[in-house]
Amino acid sequence: MADRIYNVLFLCTGNSARSVMAESILNELGKGRFKAFSAGSHPAGRVNPYTIEQLKKQGHPVAHLSSKSWSEFEKPDAPRMDMIITVCDNAAGEVCPVWPGKPVTAHWGFEDPAAFDGPDDAKRAKFHAIYLEIVARVRLLLSFPVERLDRLALEGKLRSIGKSTHGVGA
């Protein structure tokens, strides 16, 4: 059980910023324990250029990132998810598909940096701030002994991360 890798799907409406950042961050920081994916209910069709810029600046690989529909994860050959985490309020309010295996679910709301309107430097600063918030929450997830938690305890821990502001935005 200690060698098990947990699949995590981050959902957002457009799948161009927050969910993609969360996928990239968890794949790097949780390598060997977690495999992250991201998708959207109404994908933008491309990853936001500021997302790519921020991730590259922080040393994350970006070649594999794409904006895709959550319907890709409903297919029979799709990876089975252990956790589904919505990262935007719109996706949290939508009717999600019924995921095979009944993964635990949680909501980690983040402001949408793609919706920020301002000069380029201000947009970069907004993307950086959201990046730091996501890193803080991913680090909280990584601090939990996931392999020793039952389903109910894990769901409670995941949901508590979404309510946490400790270290978020620091």
Look up 54 and say whether it is catalytic. Answer: no
Q: Is 134 designated active site?
A: no
DSSP classification of residue 69: B
Q: Regarding beta strands 104-107 and 83-86, do their DSSP bridges make them parallel or antiparallel, or are they unpaired?
A: parallel
3-state helix, strand, coil in the chain (%, to 5): 45, 15, 45
Whether 34 and 108 have beta carbons less than 8 Å apart is answered as no
**Residue tagged active-site, from 29, 78, 96, 153:** 96
144 classed as catalytic: no
Active site residue: 8, 9, 11, 12, which one? 12
Active-site annotation holder among 8, 55, 88, 146 = 88
Q: Quickly list DSSP for 84-114.
A: EEE-SHHHHHS-----TT--EEEE-----GG
C-beta of residue 13 within 8 angstroms of C-beta of residue 42: yes
Q: Residues with catalytic annotation? A: 12, 88, 96
